[in-house]
């Protein structure tokens, strides 16, 4: 295994990356597309790539950041799927990542059944998705009762928004830079209001969204969707798209219109627009949020853990993950 800067990868290595990803359906998330690593690297956060070879060719690639002696998956903490880019049925030795000085590879959204990682996974959490094949009608045929009910309520609330605030207008793939700036501003306000860590406190992350939004190569890029009532932006979403998969990444809404549940209205419109966009699945990302539980048609699992040769560090990482799970469960049970 050798390690190179993403910027030093050649055309042959990038072609192999595309080929390995295409050969493995488990890697259809846009986070595994080399375009994501390229955008992160170009935004100012250095990306390194471990290139594993065997049998005369490249058999796996892993893009990551190095923080001192710890390795993090590319795009962390904003990467909702992580793991090696390897062909289906291929093999990978995670400990090989620690050659040359690193003491650990920490992951928190490891794709299900990533080869070689099972000994290092200390917990798993659900990552829901919507099968939107056939658009809204197809989705409703697969949705749970609560999903159908919420979509019905979204339709009625859209009509109410139109009566009270003006014509409702949905744009599935907006080219408005002011709308993107508004998404970031609303998300930062949400972080401040809830006490969550501000993802956009690091300047490179706003640059990352801007770069992804400008990417339009047909197979990969950012997608900005907006929902207006009259002149007002009710809700918006910035996500990543690769092929037929859209990742639900940064949804926001104007708190002034919270009673209309504008996020559900936007999601309903996006599901309806899915066939025209060429999208068959919307990944909602890890989490047990109420709206995800209601909206999903299925789910996969993502793993949390630490690849390390140090048993003490591994035990500490396991204890931390389980402590967070207990705290999360307590918060869920005590919510009104």
| Residue of 307, 318, 240, 235 lying closest to 37 (CA atoms) | 240
Q: Which two tokens stand for residue 36?
A: 């994501």
Contact of 33 with 220, CB cutoff 8 Å: yes
**pLDDT of 296 higher than 70:** yes
Q: Which two tokens stand for residue 319?
A: 């204890």
pLDDT tens digits, residue range 104-123?
A: 999 999 999 999 999 999 99
What's the whole-model pTM score?
A: 0.92
**pLDDT of 312 higher than 60:** no
Question: How far is C-alpha 303 from the chain's CA centre?
Answer: 14
Confidence of residue 100 (pLDDT cuts 50, 70, 90): confident
Per-residue pLDDT at 130: 98
Average of per-residue pLDDT across 32-37: 97
Per-residue pLDDT at 310: 79
| Residue of 293, 265, 296 lying closest to 281 (CA atoms) | 296
Per-residue pLDDT at 217: 75
pLDDT tens digits, residue range 185-242?
A: 999 999 999 999 999 999 999 999 999 999 977 789 999 999 999 999 999 999 999 9
Q: Which two tokens stand for residue 189?
A: 């306000």
Per-residue pLDDT at 324: 61
Residue-range domains of the chain with CATH: 2-109+308-334 (3.40.630), 133-279 (3.40.630.30)
| Residue of 115, 76, 113, 71 lying closest to 92 (CA atoms) | 115
**pLDDT of 315 higher than 80:** no
Query: Between these two residues, 324 and 161, which has the higher pLDDT value?
Result: 161
Average of per-residue pLDDT across 163-185: 96
Residue tagged 């406190």 (tokens): 201
Residue tagged 């090989």 (tokens): 96
In DSSP terms, 239 is beta-bridged to: 223
Question: How far is C-alpha 258 from the chain's CA centre?
Answer: 24
The average confidence (pLDDT) of the chain is 93
pLDDT tens digits, residue range 240-277?
A: 999 999 999 999 999 999 999 999 999 999 999 999 99
Average of per-residue pLDDT across 141-155: 97
**pLDDT of 279 higher than 90:** yes
Average of per-residue pLDDT across 159-181: 97
Percent pLDDT > 90 in the chain is: 88
Per-residue pLDDT at 333: 43
Confidence of residue 288 (pLDDT cuts 50, 70, 90): confident
Instruction: Give the C-alpha separation, 147 to 231, whole Å.
Output: 29
Question: How far is C-alpha 76 from the chain's CA centre?
Answer: 10
Counting runs of H as helices and runs of E as strands, what totals does the chain give?
A: 9, 13
**pLDDT of 156 higher than 60:** yes
């Amino acid at each position: 295994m050798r390690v190179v800067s993403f910027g030093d990868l050649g055309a042959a290595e990038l072609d192999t990356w595309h080929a390995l990803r295409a050969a493995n359906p488990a890697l259809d998330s846009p986070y595994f597309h080399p375009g994501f690593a390229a955008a992160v690297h170009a935004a100012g956060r250095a990306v390194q790539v471990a290139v594993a070879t065997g049998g005369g060719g490249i058999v796996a690639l892993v893009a990551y950041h190095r923080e001192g002696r710890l390795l993090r998956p590319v795009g962390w903490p904003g990467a909702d799927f992580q793991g090696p880019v390897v062909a289906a049925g291929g093999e990978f030795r995670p400990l090989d990542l620690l050659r040359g000085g690193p003491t650990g590879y920490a992951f928190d959204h490891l794709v299900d059944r990533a080869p070689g990682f099972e000994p290092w996974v200390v917990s798993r959490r659900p990552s829901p998705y919507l099968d939107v094949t056939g658009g809204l009608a197809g989705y409703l045929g697969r949705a749970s009762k609560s999903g159908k009910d919420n979509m019905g309520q979204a339709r009625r609330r859209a009509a109410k928004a139109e009566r009270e605030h003006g014509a409702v207008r949905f744009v599935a793939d907006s080219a408005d830079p002011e709308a993107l700036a508004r998404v970031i501003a609303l998300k930062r306000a949400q972080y401040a209001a809830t006490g969550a860590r501000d993802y956009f406190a690091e300047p490179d992350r706003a640059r990352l969204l801007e770069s992804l939004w400008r990417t339009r190569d047909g197979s990969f890029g950012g997608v900005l969707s907006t929902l207006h009532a009259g002149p007002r932006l009710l809700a918006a979403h910035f996500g990543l798209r690769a092929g037929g998969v859209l990742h639900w990444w940064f949804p926001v809404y104007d708190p002034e219109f919270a009673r209309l549940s504008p996020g559900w209205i936007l999601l309903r419109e996006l599901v309806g627009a899915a066939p025209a966009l060429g999208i068959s699945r919307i990944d909602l990302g890890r989490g047990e949020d109420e709206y995800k539980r209601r909206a999903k048609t299925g789910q996969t699992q993502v793993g949390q853990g630490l690849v390390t040769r140090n048993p003490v560090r591994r035990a500490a990482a396991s204890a931390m993950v389980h402590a967070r799970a207990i705290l999360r469960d307590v918060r869920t049970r005590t919510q009104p």
